[in-house]
Amino acid sequence: MKDTLRPGLTHSAALEIDQSLTVPHVSSKLEAFGDMPPVFATAFMIAFIEATCIEAIAKHLDDGEHSVGTHVDVSHLAATPPCRHDGYS
């Protein structure tokens, strides 16, 4: 790890929510999700948060180094439906 990896780093990312990121698409192995509403899945939200963290620290790691998440504490403020491509969401 490089000495540039320090507390307080910032990074941001954006993700357009489409049908593939909704609850019914979490996994065909988890049938209970199949008939849930088509809103942004918490599982995908957590994956997006982790991917954003990976991007944030990547340039601060030595070749071959990685980091993994060990704790997540987030809340949804509202369900997020997929984006519509007619100018409205």
Q: Point out which residues pair with 40 in neighbouring strands.
A: 22
Per-residue pLDDT at 88: 53
For the stretch 31-86, pLDDT in tens is 999 999 999 999 999 999 999 999 999 999 999 999 988 999 998 889 999 987 65
* Residue with token string 């954006």: 14
pTM, entire model: 0.84
Cβ atoms of residues 16 and 79 within 8 Å? no
The CB-based long-range contact list for 65-72 (8 Å cut-off, 24+ gap) reads 65/1, 72/46
CATH architecture, range 1-70: Roll (3.10)
The encoded tokens of residue 26 equal: 């979490």
Q: Which residues are catalytic?
A: 42, 50, 76
Cβ atoms of residues 43 and 53 within 8 Å? no
